[in-house]
Structure 1
Amino acid sequence: MAGDRPAVLVLTSANDVTADVVLRILAGRGVPVVRTDPGVDLHRGAALTTRYETDGQRGTLTTASRSLDLSCVRSVWYRRPSAYEAPEGMERQDAEFARSQAYWGVGGILAALPGAQYVNHPWRVREAEHKPAQLDTALRSGLAVPATVITTDPDKARAFCAARPGGAVYKPLWNSPYTGDDGRAAQVWVSEVRPEEITDAVAACPHLFQAKVDKAYDVRLTAVGERLFAVRIDSPDLDWRRRQELVTYTRIGVPDDVAAAVGRYLASFGLVFGALDFAVDHDGCWAFLECNPNGQWAWFPPPITDPIAEALADRLQKGTTP
């Protein structure tokens, strides 16, 4: 039983290769790990039971290969679990009921394990994913933020973009699923936009427009607690994700003022981990663009990926011990 020693509970999908990198390190250190995708596994033989009595909470999570005493969890790594679903074959109304009960019941239990460290807590992740909250928190933390407007007013959008001498860009507020005319999944990239291109369709939903940074390069800064790993990204594109085969990566240092502001930013949201994106201009100013509280990092070359994986393994292994 995994409860013989404090275990690391990893909540993620079966095909999460990023998690695999860290779990191999923990295995090499002899740290007990229980990995599960609760939205899927609980319909495939896994089981969860928790009791609340006068002496506190007691519970057990049983998977196909392990049994975990929920009072003996040192850390919970909330990576990328699947959405909670109903068992196959349920009628619509029953399925909706089962799905919501799983979200509030299973999700609630796994988000309230006493004494466990969360990387990151799922409720903190949800709060920190909202771009308006990110921008406000970044400003209050002392990070430079390009002038930004979020609006449903086409005239205000045109006026904002017209007032940017260096140009303006549009970016979605969320990476919503989108399908192209060919039926294939499509990506909405960050794109430069001119005032005359903005139509009255802006009124359909909030749109985010931002001053274009005259950047020398991009930076992806991965934070694991106080440990910061910054990577310079050189790309011919405005949105470097568009053609990653043309991108080069170089480890760089983090200016002291940026490092201090990042620490304040993470603390404001209660985050242990964050993947922050910056655009660095030709004067060396780091402009905050966004922070993914559950961002990817394992696509970097091994000399960059390995130290991040080790830092995450250290954090999960330590748990809440002083």
Structure 2
Amino acid sequence: MLVVSRLDDATADTVTEELNRRRVPVVRLDPGDFPTDITVAARLDSGGLSGNMRTATRNATLDHVRSVYWRRPRPYTAPPGLDDQAARWCVEEARYGLGGLLAALPAAHYVNHPWRNRNAEYKPAQLSTAATCGFDIPSTLLTNSVDAAREFAHEHGPVIYKPFRNTDYQDPSGRALTVWVEEVDPDDLTAGVTHTTHLFQKRVNAVADLRVIAVGRDVFTVRIDGSPGLDWRRHYDSLSYSLTDTPPYLAKSIHQYLDAFGLVFGAFDFGVDRDGRIWWYECNPNGQFAWFPEPITARIVSAVADQLQHAGEHLAR
């Protein structure tokens, strides 16, 4: 079994520990360590794929890998000492060579397949698919037009802005910055809107948030209370969590959504308004869950480990 992730990944740690407890053989690797600390020798012919992949401490026989837990690997890298052009070439060759190999293991059950993760990360595709799956979606505008943004804000205000992706961003001093979900004042919408695509959305007057973790046919709904602001990720110290029943209609839509993207795992975010209506925010196909209190995390970890250990066999139950 392969666990593909960076070293500092608490979610991958918890799943790996559970697999070790079950005495399931695990090889953990980070493609960002290639080629310095990973060596691959793969053969392909009419008989299929064979060969092995070695890390500093483990060896994986490629055609024997039954499951892959694809979490959050670092970007592909080039060995030190190369000029910029050679380094770029090596990185792209690693992406399509090693990356293509890791995505083509013939006997493996992926949680999730990296190409399925990639396809499901685009918020426009998420929103469109969520609509077809029956979720309630706040009115949303994708635009680079200042006039359209202002018109939308006046029509649907209060309105929030959210980024399409958590992209590395630094201030002039090199300090890492995060672009959070923020409420937008129409008067603050300037020509900067024209610089790229922006996502504006009608604000949900939420009294609570839901993080719903779906693992195969298992669905775990965690209610999050206590956030004093729009983006609960900024207020972890103020939050409380409770595992609650998943409404059947919501579980049905979640399974339809996973099937539409070919996902085994998804971390869904919703807001609950004063009338109890549940509003779709997004689905991270590779979202975190290890920060929940241990009794909640343990149940999710067990479900993920089941998927990997039994290679998806229990999906049909």
> Which of the five TM-score ranges fits, normalised by the shorter chain?
over 0.9
Match of 2:20 among 27, 52, 70: 27
Give the secondary-structure state (helix, strand or coil) at the position aligned to 1:14. coil
Query: Quick one: distance in 2 between partners of 1:65 and 1:174?
Result: 34
Task: Indicate if the aligned counterparts of 2:138 and 2:201 stay in contact, CA closer than 8 A.
Answer: yes
Deviations 1:253-303 (A, max 9, x none): 111111100100011000111111001111111111011111111011101
- Give yes or no for the alignment of 1:140 onto 2:122: no
Structure 1 outlier segments of 4+, above 6 Å: none
Q: Which residue of 2 aligns with 1:192?
A: 183
Aligned residues: 313
Which residue of the partner structure matches residue 282 of structure 1? 274
How far does residue 321 in structure 1 lie from its aligned partner after superposition?
4.2
**Corresponding residue number in structure 1 for 2:288:** 296
For residues 263-282 of structure 1, what are the structure 2 equivalents within 5 Å? Answer: 263-282=255-274
Please point out which of 147, 150, 156 is paired with 2:148.
156
SS of 2:2's partner is: strand
C-alpha deviations, 1:162-188, integer Å up to 9, x for none?
0115x1111111112222355321111
Q: Give the whole-Å Cα distance in 2 for the aligned partners of 1:321 and 1:136.
A: 30
Select which of 172, 192, 200 maps to 2:163: 172
The corresponding residue for 2:54 is 62
Q: What is the rounded CA distance, in whole Å, between the counterparts of 1:144 and 1:112 in structure 2?
A: 36
What amino acid does structure 2 have at the position aligned with 1:93? Q
Shift, 1:243, TM fit = 1.7
What's the CA shift string for 1:97-116, capped at 9, x where partnerless? 11110000000001000121
> How far 1:318 sits from its partner (Å)?
0.7
Compute the TM-score of the two structures, normalised by the length of structure 1: 0.94
Counterpart CA distance in 1 for 2:126 and 2:143 is 16
User: Match of 1:82?
Assistant: 74
Q: Which amino acid aligns with 1:253?
A: D
Residue 15 of structure 1, CA deviation: 2.1
Counterpart for residue 15 of structure 1: 8
- What does the per-residue CA deviation read over 1:66-106, in whole Å, with 9 as the maximum and x for residues that have no partner? 22211111101111111110001111111111111000000
How far, CA to CA, are the matches of 2:183 and 2:215 in structure 1? 32
SS state of the match for residue 71, structure 1? helix
* 2:231 aligned with 1:201: no
Between 1:189-198 and 1:272-281, the stretch displaced more is: 189-198
Show the counterpart of 2:217. 226
Gaps of at least 5 residues in structure 2 are none
Q: CA RMSD in A?
A: 1.2
What residue in structure 1 maps to residue 109 of structure 2? 117
Give, as a single letter, the amino acid of the residue that structure 2 aligns with 1:313. Answer: A
Unaligned runs of 5+ in 1: 1-7
Range 152-161 or range 169-178, more displaced = 169-178
1:225 partner letter: G
Query: What is the percentage of aligned positions where both structures have the same residue?
Result: 47
Which residue in 1 is equivalent to 2:203? Answer: 212
Aligned counterpart, 1:236 = 228
Amino acid at match of 1:29: R
Q: Which residue of 2 aligns with 1:5?
A: none
